[in-house]
Structure 1
Amino acid sequence: MPTVGMQIGGNRNAANKPLDSNGKREWSNGLCGCFSACGTCCYAFWCPCIVHGKNKQRLRHLAEQNSPDPEGGSCCSGSCWAHCLLTGCVGAGFILQCLNRGEVRSRYGIEGGSCGDFCSSCCCAPCDLTQVSREIELEEKSFGQRY
C-alpha cells in the first residue's frame, strides 16, 4: 500500500532537477535543447501532428496505466488528426500543443504558466514538441525499460 511521499510508477523528476520553494522545478531539457534530440526535432518540424499525437497518447498511457505505452504512441490517433486539421485548416495546431504542454507541466511539477505555454507552442512549435517528448521519455525510461 502506498504511503505519504511514496511515488508510484516512474520517476517524474528523472533528471533530479532541484525544486523551488513552491515544489516546482525547471524543464529537464531547455526549449532550445531540441537539437540534441535531432531526430525528434526534425520529425516535429516536418510532421508536428504525428509528434503531438504520440506525445498525447504516451502521456495518457502513463496517467491511466501507470506504465509506458509499449507502442510508443500511435501515429494515427485522434489527437494527431485534430492537430493536423487545425494546422491545415486554420494554422492553429499550436493551441493543442499549448494545452498538452500545460498537462505535462502539471504532471511533472514544472514551473511556468499558460502565457509561456502559448508562446513556446506558437513561436517554436518543433522545439516545444521535442521538449515535451523528452520530458515524457525521461519518465518512461525510469521504469527500466528501453523506449
Structure 2
Amino acid sequence: MSWPVSTQPQALVVSSDDDADWSSGICDCCDDGKQCCFAFWCCPCFACKTTKDFGHCLCLPLLDVFGCIRPITMSTRVSVRHRYGIRGSLCVDCLCSTFCLSCVWCQMSREMKKRKIPTVLSDIIGY
C-alpha cells in the first residue's frame, strides 16, 4: 500500500538581514588553525568530514577527483548558501570551488560551526 504525499519538504533557511553574508571570508582559513592544517594537508578527508557534518553523504566529495571543475564542492557551497540565506552567485561559487578548494571547505565548515544549526532531516509521513 502506498501513501500519497500531502506536503513536499521545504528548504530550511535560517537567516536575518544581518546574516546575509558569509561570517568569514574565503581567505580567512587561518582563523581556525586546526581546520586550516587539516584542510591543507588532507583536503579530501576534511571535505568528507564537512559534508557529513552538513548532512550529506560522507564520500560525496571524493567524486570531485575526476575533473578540474569541482561540481560537488560547488553544489555543496550553493547548498550551504541557500540553507543559511547567504547572498552570492553561482558564478562566484564556481570560481571559488575551482581555484580555492581547501579554502572553500574551510569557509563552509566555519559557517556551520558559527551557525550551530543542527541538521534537519525531512519527516516521513507516519502510518
The answer, yes or no, to whether TM exceeds 0.5 is yes
Post-superposition shift, 1:17?
A: 7.0
Q: Which residue, out of 36, 43, 48, partners 2:43?
A: 48
Aligned match of 2:32: 37
4+ long deviations beyond 4 Å = none
- Separation in 1 of the partners of 2:55 and 2:94? 21
Q: 5+ unaligned residues in a row in structure 1: which ranges? A: 1-11, 20-24, 62-73
Q: Is the 8 A contact 1:98 1:117 kept in 2?
A: yes
Q: Is the 8 A contact 1:17 1:26 kept in 2?
A: no
Query: 1:70-81 maps to which residues of 2 (within 5 A)?
Result: 77-79=58-60
- Paired residues of 1:17 and 1:28 also in contact (CA < 8 A): no
Corresponding residue for 1:28? 23
- Rounded Cα–Cα distance in structure 1 between residues aligned with 2:43 and 2:110: 15
RMSD over aligned Cα, in angstroms?
A: 2.4
Tell me the TM-score normalised to structure 1 length: 0.61
Q: CA deviation at 1:91?
A: 4.3
Q: Evaluate the alpha carbon distance shift between residue 127 and residue 137 of structure 1 in structure 2; reply closer, same or farther with a 3 A threshold.
A: same
Distance 1:51 1:17, change over 3 A: farther
For the pair shown, the structure with the greater C-alpha radius of gyration is 2
Instruction: List aligned pairs for 1:53-92, cutoff 5 A.
Output: 53-60=48-55, 77-79=58-60, 83-87=61-65, 89-92=66-69
Return the alpha-carbon distance in structure 1 between the equivalents of residues 108 and 17 of structure 2.
16
Q: TM-score, normalised by structure 2?
A: 0.70
Matched AA of 1:78: C
Q: SS of the residue aligned with 1:18?
A: helix
How many pairs were matched up? 105
Which consecutive residues of structure 2, in runs of 5 or more, have no partner in the other structure? 1-13, 119-127
1:107 is the counterpart of 2:83: yes
The equivalent residue for 2:96 is: 120
Identical positions, percent: 30
